[in-house]
Amino acid sequence: MIAHIWAFLTRQEVVYLEDFDGAVTKTFAKTTMFVTVRAKRHWPFNIHNVTLLPDGTVKGPSYVERWTK
């Protein structure tokens, strides 16, 4: 619930990213000025930006395969 309030206040949305191994991560996504939706996937040692496509997949090769709201 707190995540949804924070997303509303910061004009983002809560999304779930599914990795190639089936692990699901809850994160925030934001529409950029180029009308693409981007989300950040946090790993232990870095952060990776993922471009989310409207069909529930991601752009380009990535550790993340799918996303949902």
- pTM, two decimal places: 0.82
CA distance 17 to 56: 10
Residue 18, CA atoms < 13 Å, CB-side half-sphere: 8
pLDDT digits (tens, 9 = 90+) for 18-68: 998 999 999 999 988 887 888 888 777 788 889 999 999 999 888 899 999
DSSP, res 53: P
CA distance 69 to 53: 12
Number of structural domains the chain divides into: 1
- Domain that includes residue 20, residue range: 2-68
SS3 66: strand
